[in-house]
């Protein structure tokens, strides 16, 4: 009877862990998009400090053939130097671009993902594609390489995982 109780307790514990440890992809995708738009807003407002808080210790550059690197203040300022001198708002961005989040299942087998070196995205990484101009728009407000990046939720907060360009 003692062993039966222990087995029952262990099974209940495993069931509880399974119930509360499920990955709700829809919730994460919605929140990934909200976070990505916060990143875009830092571009619009030129908020370098907030942008830096979104970065991990090391970041991946998907098009570069190099290992992940740390980002210095100089690198962040250089990143922001690619923004146009025009004053834009997040609403301007939303009116100018189509944007969306791709889940791992959406992007996993694409050749341009397979060709990434030194890092393989997994099912916890979401790809923000925010560089598609709306049909009636003809000029970029923000350099398109800055509008494609991976995000991930870890340690109870969202972070940028990798930049495309």
Q: Which of 157, 62, 151 is nearest to 101 (CA)?
A: 151
pLDDT at 68: 64
The total number of structural domains in the chain stands at 1
**DSSP E strands: which ranges in the chain?**
58-61, 69-70, 97-102, 125-133, 148-154, 157-163
Range of the domain at 58: 24-163
d(CA 82, CA 145) in angstroms, rounded, equals 9
Does any domain span residue 8? no
Does any domain span residue 144? yes
Does any domain span residue 46? yes
Does any domain span residue 115? yes
pLDDT in tens, 38-55: 999 998 888 989 998 998
Q: Work out the pLDDT band at 33, boundaries 50, 70, 90.
A: very high
Q: What is the CA radius of gyration of the chain?
A: 20
The residue written with tokens 């210790």 in the block is 57
Does any domain span residue 56? yes
At residue 155, φ and ψ (nearest 5 deg) are: 55, 40
Does any domain span residue 73? yes
Does any domain span residue 1? no
Is the whole model's pTM more than 0.85, yes or no? no
pLDDT of 163 above 70 = yes
pLDDT in tens, 67-86: 666 777 777 787 777 776 67
pLDDT in tens, 150-160: 999 988 999 99
Does any domain span residue 18? no
pLDDT in tens, 103-147: 988 888 776 666 666 677 888 999 999 988 888 776 777 777 788
């Amino acid at each position: 009877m003692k062993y039966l109780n222990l087995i029952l307790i262990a099974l209940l514990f495993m069931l509880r862990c399974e119930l509360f440890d499920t990955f709700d992809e829809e919730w994460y995708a919605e929140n990934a998009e909200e976070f990505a738009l916060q990143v875009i807003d830092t571009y619009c407002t030129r908020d370098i400090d907030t942008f830096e808080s979104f970065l991990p210790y090391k970041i991946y550059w998907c098009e570069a053939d190099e290992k992940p690197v740390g980002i210095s203040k100089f690198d962040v300022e250089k990143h922001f130097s690619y923004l146009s001198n025009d004053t834009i708002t997040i609403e301007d961005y939303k009116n100018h671009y189509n944007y969306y989040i791709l889940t791992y299942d959406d992007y996993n087998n694409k050749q341009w993902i397979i060709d990434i070196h030194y890092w393989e995205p997994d099912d916890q990484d979401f790809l923000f594609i925010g560089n598609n101009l709306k049909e009636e728009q003809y000029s970029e407000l923000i350099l398109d390489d800055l509008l494609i990046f991976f995000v991930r939720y870890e340690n109870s907060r969202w972070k940028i995982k990798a930049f495309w360009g």
